[in-house]
Amino acid sequence: MNSRDSVMTNAGKLGSSGGGGRNSSAPLMLLNKRRAEGDVVIFVSDNQ
């Protein structure tokens, strides 16, 4: 992934990385564990 790529380019890269379920709460749990601070969290999902 490249932050300078378009959303569609990055979505294509994510979509080609296999299938199956994802634990969407895992990144939030890691951020909480690290006591990270931020204003926004963005999730990219394939709606499954």
Domain boundaries, the chain: 1-48
pLDDT of residue 42: 83
Which two three-digit tokens encode residue 11?
A: 């979505």
User: Which residue is it, tokens 């951020």?
Assistant: 31
pLDDT of residue 6: 92
- DSSP one-letter code for 5: S
pLDDT of residue 34: 96
Ramachandran assignment for 21, one of left (phi > 0), alpha (psi -120 to 50 degrees), beta (any other): beta
Average pLDDT over residues 12-40: 83
Cβ neighbour number for residue 2 with a 10 Å cutoff: 8
Say how far residue 27 (Cα) sits from the centre of its chain. Answer: 8
pLDDT of residue 24: 79
